[in-house]
Amino acid sequence: MFRKYIKKMNKVVLFLTLSDVFTWGPFFIISALSGIYLSNRLGAGTVEFVGVGTAIYFLTRAITQIPIGSITDRIKKDRDELIILIVGILLMGLPYIFYPLITKDYHYYILQFIFGLGVSLNLSNWRKLFAMNVDKGREGRQYGFYETIISICTVILSATIGLVANLGDIYFDIVMICSGIFMMAGSIWVVMIFNFKKRKTNHTK
């Protein structure tokens, strides 16, 4: 039954869901582990570093999201949203690959800026594409499908990442790098959307 449902499902909605699984699935547990990870690398004052880094992340989002949204609203069809979404996903995963190289607080701040920019490129465009591609009369089911898949995959990823990270510092580094690569791989699903020429956002804005 589930297979039959997937087969009939709007493929753009499905691939956007999968891209979010890859991009945001590891994030929740990784963000929780970041404080512990940074305390091992930066020592005293980690709480302050994390606080400043978080402020940089949200400030970057606050400054860039409206300009990004304005640019994509002016361009017809959805090629711009898809390309910007791909770039955003890549920028979100990139900082975690460099986490093992953090030795100074400013390293962390730079990575938080990059992550914040990636999130800005991701959120507005992903939400816009998803909202405009859902099928009329099936909105509740398709949003429900998205939330169910995201929740299940986050459970699996959180448990797996937590168990591996607990094995030791070397494994902690591996978890960070692999999480970054996994997040960046979410861009592949967005690239595949280009194959569906009849998607709604390819014809209207």
pLDDT recorded at residue 164: 81
Q: Where are the domains of the chain?
A: 22-192
Q: Which pTM value belongs to this model?
A: 0.88
26 contacts 157 by C-beta, under 8 angstroms: yes
For residue 20, give the nearest of 175, 127, 177 by alpha carbon: 127
Q: pLDDT (tens digit, 9 = 90+) per residue, 125-170?
A: 999 999 888 888 888 888 898 999 999 998 998 888 888 877 777 7
Whether residue 192 is predicted with pLDDT greater than 60 in this model: the reply is yes
| Distances in whole angstroms, Cα of residue 26 to Cα of each of 52, 59, 176 | 22, 23, 10
Share the mean pLDDT of the chain.
86
Which amino acid is residue 43, in one-letter code?
Answer: G
Give the mean model confidence (pLDDT) for residues 33-40.
78
State whether CATH 1.20.1250.20 applies to domain 22-192: yes
Q: Is 65 exposed, middle or buried (0-12, 13-18, 19+ CB in 10 A)?
A: middle
Whether residue 44 is predicted with pLDDT greater than 70 in this model: the reply is no
Q: pLDDT (tens digit, 9 = 90+) per residue, 65-113?
A: 999 888 888 877 788 899 999 999 999 999 999 988 888 888 999 999 9
Strands (E), the chain: none
